[in-house]
Amino acid sequence: MIRLTLGLVAAAVAISPAVAVVPVYGQCGGRTYSGETVCASGSACIAQNEWYSQCLPGASTTPAPVPTTTRTTTPPPPASTGFVKTSGTKFTLNGAPFTVVGTNSYWVGLNGLSTANMNTAFQDIARTGATAVRTWGFNEVTSQNGNWYQGWTGRTSTVNSGASGLQNFDNVVAAAKANGLRLIVALTNNWADYGGMDVYVNQIVGQGQPHDLFYTNANVKTAYKNYIKTFVGRYVNEPGILAWELANEPRCKGTTGTTSGSCTPATITAWAKEMTAYIKSIDSNHLVGVGDEGFFNQPGAPTYPYQGGDGIDFDANLAISTVDFGTFHSYPEPWGQTNNATAWGVQWIQDHAASQKRIGKPVIIEEFGVTTNQLSTYTSWLNTVISSGLSGDLIWQAGSRLPTGPSADDGYTIYPDDPVYPLLTGHAAALKARG
């Protein structure tokens, strides 16, 4: 689905007029950091990773020093990494079952949120019993403003490692970890929101060229790999990352609908093989998924999500050796299944659970939503997740009522005062109990 950009405004950071201190949940250290290291009263500076130390309430330690040298090699991970792995159709953590349940919050690292507001957003999610949050690890821009991760000037791109770029994503990782959450991170977008694939194609191949050249043009693929190398490489040893995803909802068509006419499911499957193998070559710690909507490739099927016309073959992609888990989305209303969206969604979940069992890898429904009858529909769908044996689920999407105002409501958003919120809380407990 196309997502709307939010207009959140960052809250001002309060500092003492006498002594500059870092507020609770603010950054106080890390490689390349040169700001204040003294935390506000009642908090202490705790290292989250090599790039980021954070002022956490109730902690007791000395401020984290600012590194004086640049490390030129990546050290091996510790013996007990704490990275989420898979075993058959289950997720595991340190050899024990790990339940993937939670929500999406694509906006938390974008739109200029303060670290305090990031923490509030993740607190709202964590209170449901969530373990995972899916978010965006991309923002392609040709005009640099706000939070952005990759800027383009002609055919040349630059990854933003500064405070408005990767250092800001460090804040996201740290805030998630502080609330016991792990991140599933998509690395580009099929749609025009926050740049995505068409920016690569427009800048490298030419304005208005076919969307699906993202999957086949050698120069475009090299540029995407370069971004992966920098972004993924930064977090190789970060257990706060649960998994990487190649893209949000890859399809032959993008926002403009322009295609070469030669894109098929085999095109995107070949791309997924190449790119997941590349991620594995630089990061053996984290799981990798495609991030697709789970469309099947069954020409002649009664409804289009099963027909393969958008270039996705769920079963073929799940079978790729370097794909660790499968993903699918569920939006019956915009997909034209309005006669009985609830029943259609139940069958959609059951069919993906069957693929999970047949291929032997975990599968999660990582986006789902309806805009009417949410409570009854979600109750039915989440019960089906449990009864079908599906490995996990992430609802679209989390909402928070922040001091700067509520996060945007796209019709699917679930705020803590929404009647669906207690349902999610009960479901998380039930899914964990199922194991």
Q: Catalytic residue positions?
A: 249, 367
The Cα 205–Cα 332 span in angstroms is 35
